[in-house]
Amino acid sequence: MMLQLDQVHAYYGKSHILHGVSLEVNKGELVTLLGRNGAGKTTTLKSIMGLMLVRSGSIRYKGENILGRETHQIFRRGLGYVPQGRRIFSRLSVAENLRLPSLRQDGEKIEWVLNIFPPLRERLNNRGNELSGGEQQMLAIARVLVSGAELILLDEPSEGLAPLLVGAITDTIRELKKSGLTMLLVEANLTMASNLGDRHYVMAHGLVSREASSQEILEDVELHRKYFKL
Ligand SMILES: Nc1ncnc2c1ncn2[C@@H]1O[C@H](COP(=O)(O)OP(=O)(O)OP(=O)(O)O)[C@@H](O)[C@H]1O
Ligand SMILES: [Mg+2]
C-alpha cells in the first residue's frame, strides 16, 4: 500500500470539515475521489499535503506516518499535488516553469515529460498566460512530474476545459498511468472518472461514504440520485 488515510479529522479553524476519512491507494493504481460540491474532496487532498489542521487519525505514505510533517517535506518524499484551478507561473515561459521545481536541473526528466505532453514542446518559449486552458493543465501536471513525484494528487483537472481538451487530458493521464505513476484523482466529470479509475471512493459530508466500480459510477441510478444529482 502506498498511501493510507485512517479516520482523518480535519478543521478549518473551528469548522470541523473531515469527519473520519479513510482511504487507500496502492502502487500503480489510479483511484478517484468523487462527490458533490463541498463534500470535502479538496480538503482531503490538502490534508495529505500537510495544508490542513488534522487533529486526529493517521496518514501514511510508503509506510511512514506523514501527518504533522511540513508540506515541503511531504513533497520531497515524492507526493505531488496539482491544485484545483491549475496554478502555473503565468509570466514565466513553459521552459522556465519546468526548470523551476527541479533543483538538480534534471534534463532527462524534462525530456520525459515533454514526450508525455507533446503540445508543451511546441510552446516551450511561450509564457504561461499565452497557453490554452488544456495546455496550462498539462503544464501544471508536468511541473509536478519534473519534481520527481511518485504519487500525484490531481484536483479536478478537467474543470473549465472544452470537451476536446478533456479528451486530451484524459489521454495523457492514461499515459501517465501506463508509465507506472500512482494517482489519486478528484473529478466531477464522471465519464472521465469511470474511464480512468481502477477504484472509486464517493464522499459526502466530510466522509468516504462508499466505494464504487466504474460501471456503478456510470450506470447506478440510485448512486447518482444519492451522491451526484443536486
Ligand atoms: N478556506 C475555508 N474556510 C472554511 N471552510 C472552508 C474553506 N474551504 C472550504 N471550506 C468548507 O469545507 C467544506 C469542504 O470543502 P472542499 O473544498 O473540500 O469541497 P470539495 O469536495 O472539494 O468541493 P468542490 O467540488 O466544490 O471543489 C465545504 O463545506 C466548504 O464550505
Ligand atoms: Mg474541491
Per-residue pLDDT, 3: 98
* 99 alpha carbon – ligand 1 mean position (Å): 32
Q: Is residue 130 part of a domain?
A: no
- The atom number, within ligand 1, closest to the CA of 203 reads 21
Contacting residues for 149 by C-beta, under 8 A, at least 6 apart: 75, 78, 79, 80, 181
Q: Is residue 26 part of a domain?
A: yes
> pLDDT tens digits for 143-178?
999 988 999 999 999 998 888 889 989 999 999 999
pLDDT for res 56? 96
Residue 166 lies in a domain: yes
Residue type, 200: H
Task: Report pLDDT for 27.
Answer: 97
Question: All 3 cell numbers of residue 35?
Answer: 462527490
Task: Give the separation between CA 192 and CA 87, rounded to whole angstroms.
Answer: 22
pLDDT of residue 105: 59
Q: What is the DSSP letter of 35?
A: -
Q: Residue 156: which domain range?
A: 3-86+149-227
- pLDDT at position 108, please? 83
- What is the atom index within ligand 1 of the atom nearest the CA of 35? 21
118 located within any domain = no
Tell me the mean pLDDT per 10 residues along the chain, length 230. 97 96 98 97 97 96 96 93 84 85 70 91 93 90 91 94 89 93 96 97 97 95 89
- Asked whether residue 113 is domain-assigned, the answer is no
Query: Does the C-beta of 42 come closer than 6 Å to ligand 1?
Result: yes
* 39 in contact with ligand 1, CB cutoff 6 A: yes
- 3-class DSSP state for residue 7? strand
Task: State the CATH number of the domain containing residue 11.
Answer: 3.40.50.300
Q: Which ligand lies nearest to the CA atom of residue 19 in the structure?
A: 1
Instruction: Extract long-range pairs of 118-125: CB within 8 Å, 24+ residues apart.
Output: 119/168, 120/94, 123/94, 124/93, 124/94, 124/95, 125/93, 125/94, 125/95
Q: Which atom of ligand 1 is nearest to the CA of 36?
A: 25
Answer whether residue 19 is part of any domain: yes
Give dist(CA 208, CA 25) in Å, integer: 14
This model's pTM is above 0.75: yes
- Domain membership flag for residue 94: no
137 is a domain residue: no
Please give the tally of structural domains in the chain: 1
The finding on whether 123 has its CB within 6 A of some atom of ligand 1 is no
Output the pLDDT for position 102. Answer: 61
In this structure, which residues have their CB less than 5 angstroms from ion ligand 2?
41-42
